[in-house]
Amino acid sequence: MIEMVEKINGAINGFVWGIPMLVLLVGTGILMTVLTKVFQISHFGYWMKHTLGSIFTDRHITKHTGTEDKSISQFQSLCTALAATIGTGNIVGVSSALIFGGPGAIFWMWIVAFFGMMTNYSENVLGIYYRKKNEKGEWSGGAMYYLKDGLGAKKGMKGVGAVLAVLFSLFCLLASFGIGNMSQINSIAGNMKAAFHIPTLATGIVLMILAGLVILGGIKRIASVTEKLVPVMALLYIVGALVVCALNINQFGAVFASIFKGAFAMKAVGGGIVGSGIKLAITWGMKRGVFSNEAGLGSSVMVHSSSNVKEPVRQGMWGIFEVFADTIVVCTLTAFVVLSSGLVDLNTGEVLSSSEGSALVGEAFSKVFGSLGPAFIAVAILLFAFSTVLGWSHYGTKAFEYLFGSKATIIYRVIFIVFIVFGATMNLQLAWDLSDTFNGLMAIPNLIGVLTLSPVVVKITANYVQRKIKGNKVTPMLSAFPEIQKEQEKALDESD
């Protein structure tokens, strides 16, 4: 049975992650970058000031909403989104990219991230613009809503928008058990067994109980946990990686050379890079880049839409920062730790260790921290992956809500929690392959929505730039729905 599932999944995975899919993924990012006049670069200082900078200067960004308010703060939405994106992809994913795609895969991860910033930006702008409130008074937004109410509002596209919205929700539901649950839990269980000899079943049961205590409390409890967990775990990992990089700084010239040569197959050994050609470097770099930052999947927009923000562009800028922090910062640090450790031949790209996945990164850390290295990575995997499970439980909940209504979401949450035990004991490769497959399937309807609604993103962005950056008096574009537009305008006036 498992062999049959693996064969079917392998065929689907190969089709989904073919060159046309990668072209669609990166092409969407390129288009949005061009249409927004390279917003991620031209307004770099502005979006950094109003994301990372605002955490320290604007109390409204971090201030908790009242108990009667079902939304969460902008900082909580970022932390929950980062909780879902900063996961095993930043450690196991980077390691896999290096093993199967060579050092050049890192260059293509950067490319995906650079253009993915504007894909994620566009998703969040559309998510806020087309979001609605459910029966519980919670904001509900995501690709399913801008497909149904955005694409579906175009002439002759009502049926197409509705069908794509349902397909996206179904794929998201399935992906939540792959990328958001089993692959994450499997990595935790494997590392706990290798580092501390804890049985995988025991790990699965403990994590199921802990996750249940948080997930059953809904988005407010999830956000409350992630806003405390994410900054601490990210800071600890970044500091540890920076220490390793600082001690190996003399290798950085060779590391950069290896990455750029590998990206374009300039270093040949027997006709190609060891274990890789340019196609493998591109494919693995892009696949693992998307798995890590999720730009193009339409996933994180579901939690960003739960924010108490009024301006679509403000939440869009948090989307840019999310991809920047995940891939440009965390993934790059992981790659440099491994490449500068002596475990990879920088001339050929060959991995000189039999270790795979997180074990390879742990071995790299052990070069500096000794026996504490693998333990450090095991704890990092535990925190990163568990936080990803929490974030993705919300994504799956929103997809389930769209399909079956908000009252039925308790059913999904219980099933999701139970599947944590299965994730701890299942085959690792199958878990990762399932994740890749459903990632790709999610991306297709979402990217169709982003591409067809790109003029809306451009108008909203231009409107914001006119008002907030150039200081012109223009009516804000806050929602596609007149009643929500009026409500948000009033709230915006009061906050100003």
- Residues 360-384 pLDDT 10s: 888 889 988 888 888 888 888 888 8
Structure tokens at 85: 């994106």
Count how many domains the chain has: 1
**Higher pLDDT among residues 266 and 20, named by residue:** 20
Please tell me the predicted confidence (pLDDT) of residue 496.
56
How far CA 165 is from CA of 268, 402, 419, 422, in Å, comes to 46, 9, 25, 29
Do residues 317 and 54 lie in contact, with contact meaning Cβ atoms separated by under 8 Å?
no
CB 197 within 8 A of CB 468: no
What is the model's pTM? 0.86
Residue 449's identity, in one-letter code, is: G
| pLDDT higher than threshold 70 for residue 2 | no
Q: What is the CATH number of the domain that holds 277?
A: 1.20.1740
The domain containing residue 358 runs over which residues?
Answer: 2-495
Give 466's DSSP letter: I
Please report the sign of the dihedral spanned by the C-alpha atoms of residue 394, residue 396, residue 397, residue 402.
Answer: positive
Above 80 in pLDDT, residue 356?
A: no
Asked if the model's pLDDT at residue 256 lies above 80, the reply is yes
Mean pLDDT, rounded, for 138-144: 89
- Rounded alpha-carbon distances, angstroms, from residue 120 to 81, 266, 465: 11, 32, 18
Is pLDDT larger for residue 2 or for residue 322?
322
Q: Based on the number of CB atoms within 10 Å of its own CB, is 321 exposed (0-12), middle (13-18) or buried (19 or more)? A: buried
Which residues partner with 269 through β-bridges? Answer: 272
Residue 438: per-residue pLDDT = 74
CA distances for 430 relative to 9, 178, 179, 291, 425, angstroms: 9, 9, 11, 15, 11
Mean pLDDT of 379-407: 87
